[in-house]
Amino acid sequence: MTEIGNDVVLIKETASGVFLVTINRPDRRNALNFEIKTRLAEILETLDHDPAVRVIVLTGANKCFVAGTDLGEMASMTPTDHTILVTDRVFTVMRRCSKPLIAAVEGFALGGGCELALACDMIVAGEGAKFALPEVRVGVMPGAGGTQRLLRTIGKYLTMRMVLTGEHIGAREAFSMGFLSLVTSDGSALRGALDLADKIVAMPPLAIKAIKEVMQIGGDASLETALLLERKAFQVLFDSQDQSEGMRAFMEKRTPEFSGH
């Protein structure tokens, strides 16, 4: 289908079940303002509830992911404004999304843009991409999951280095930290993300949903609780038609045809 949405956030179905969401504010390097965050939350929530959607790929227009939050808008905001406007709603929607989210990053993913990428399940980046949480340089700190998601991804010491200095980290170094899923040549991050999405779409939907749910919840649970959750989800999948089809196809040496049941 053709791209739809308003001019700041575009949606396009690129393959069966794969939807591309593009932040489109290239004149400001896709800096996040309240309009973009509100529209992005609405779109992601709609896609999450659409059974035709299997995987969501998030990117930025004009070879830049998101260069940060719009400081011109944020500078005049009060604590009450943040509370009333629920300026972090998009991150809550992403955390609760049952569909796999893949960030395709070229150029800058700074501040809120870095947090947006961190809220995805996988990050694919061009080798020239730069990541940073530079909020400390303007007298504040990450406020949309940056400290907590990064801490859970790369550990305390590397996270402290990034958030206390605000320095930029290149894609190759970010990958070595365990920050990224894949590094591509410049200009190929979107293609890499879409290729990953196509591979996921070929897998059984119920298993994909269960895997994401177990990893999301298990990451914040005790090991004992997480292992129990994993085991229960594993057992439940044995009631699915896709489990029967997958194992039968393997033994018959043919490609399985998954139905999502």
Residue 245 a catalytic site member: no
Residue 112 makes CB contacts below 8 A (sequence gap 6+) with: 32, 66, 68, 69, 144
Residue 32 makes CB contacts below 8 A (sequence gap 6+) with: 23, 66, 68, 69, 70, 112, 113, 116
* Residue 78: both structure tokens together: 């009060």
Q: Tell the burial category of 2 from Cβ atoms under 10 Å away from its Cβ (0-12, 13-18, 19+).
A: exposed
Active-site residue, selected from the candidate residues 3, 35, 106, 115: 115
Residue 73 a catalytic site member: no
Active-site residue, selected from the candidate residues 35, 45, 135, 167: 135
Residues forming the active site: 115, 135
